């Protein structure tokens, strides 16, 4: 991956931006925000690559993230490419762990896009959804985090 730390910064910015409007209960906020970010990316990417194309991308991103963040183990990719994350039975979600998992998944998805179509096109796709997103991941600030 070209510049994974930059993608992680950008992923954290996107998650923070969504968290600000999500208004979701604290216990599930991080998972919901992650799903919401991916859902926003799913629409334009499915148009671009087809449902199957997007599903392949998000599945790959999830597989890469699961290797780093075990808390993502319960997350699944549905037939249309959307994500589902049932609460783990008998376990409390760790907020920090889920935050880390969300950032990892979004960063991996962005990283795949950068690897395939380059940073310029990736950023253009991101900024079509989040017009205020920093131009590159490296210049994202952490005020919202």
Partner 1 sequence: MKKQDKVSIRKLPTGVPGLDEIMGGGLPEYSFNIIAGSPGCGKTTFAHQFVFANATPEHPALYFTVLGEPAMKMLRYQQQYAFFDHVKLNSSIRFINLSRIVLKNDLDAVLAEITKEVEAAGPGIVVVDSFRTVVRKAQGGTSETDLQGFVQRLALHLTSWQATTFLLGEYSDVEIRDNPVFTVADGLFWLYQSVERNSIVRKLQIMKLRGQASVPGLHTFRITDAGLQAFPRTLGLTGRKEKKAVRSRLSTGIAELDKMMGGGVPEGDSILVAGPSESGKSVLATQFIADGLRHGEPAIAAVFEERPQEYATRAKDFGLDLETPQKDGKLNILYLRPLDLSVDETMQEILDAVQRIGAKRLVIDSLAGFEMALAPGFRADFRESLYRMMGALTGIGVTILSTVETTESLGVSPFSSYSISFLTDDIIRLRYVEIEGQIRTILTVIKMRGGKHSRDIREYDITDDGIVIIGPRIKGYRALTSGLPVPLDQTGQKEPPPAKPTGKK
> Which parts of this chain interact with partner 1 (CB under 8 A)?
44, 46-53, 57, 116-118, 120-121, 124-125, 128
Shortest gap between Cβ of 61 and partner 1 (angstroms)?
A: 14
- Of the pair 50, 70, the CB lying nearest partner 1 is at 50
How far apart are CB 42 and partner 1 at their closest, in Å? 13
In the bound state with partner 1, the residue whose beta carbon lies nearer, of 95 and 125, is: 125
- 102/108 Cα distance (integer angstroms): 10
**Beta carbon of residue 117, minimum distance to partner 1 (angstroms, whole number):** 5
What is the C-alpha to C-alpha distance for residues 32 and 22, in angstroms, rounded to an integer? 8
CB of 88 to partner 1, least distance (A): 33
Q: Six-digit token pair at 10? A: 């950008």
Residue whose CB is less far from partner 1, 32 or 114: 114
CA distance 83 to 31: 10
**Which residues, at least 6 apart from 44, have a Cβ–Cβ distance to it below 8 Å?**
125, 128, 129
- The whole-angstrom distance between residue 35's C-alpha and the CA centroid of its chain comes to 7
Helix (H) or strand (E) run with residue 84 in it? strand 83-84
Q: Based on CB atoms, which residue is closest to partner 1, 22 or 133?
A: 133
């Amino acid at each position: 991956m070209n510049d994974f730390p930059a993608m992680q910064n950008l992923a954290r910015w996107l998650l923070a931006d969504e968290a600000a409007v999500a208004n979701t209960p604290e216990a599930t906020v991080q998972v919901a925000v992650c799903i919401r970010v991916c859902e926003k990316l799913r629409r334009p990417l499915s148009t671009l690559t087809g449902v199957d194309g997007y599903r392949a991308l998000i599945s790959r991103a999830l597989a890469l993230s699961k290797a780093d963040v075990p808390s993502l183990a319960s997350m699944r990719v549905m037939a249309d490419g959307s994500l589902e994350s049932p609460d783990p039975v008998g376990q409390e979600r760790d907020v920090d762990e889920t935050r880390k998992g969300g950032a990892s998944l979004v960063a991996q998805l962005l990283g795949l896009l950068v690897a395939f179509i380059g940073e310029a096109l990736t950023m253009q796709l991101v900024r079509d959804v989040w017009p205020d997103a920093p131009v590159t991941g490296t210049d994202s600030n952490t005020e919202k985090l």
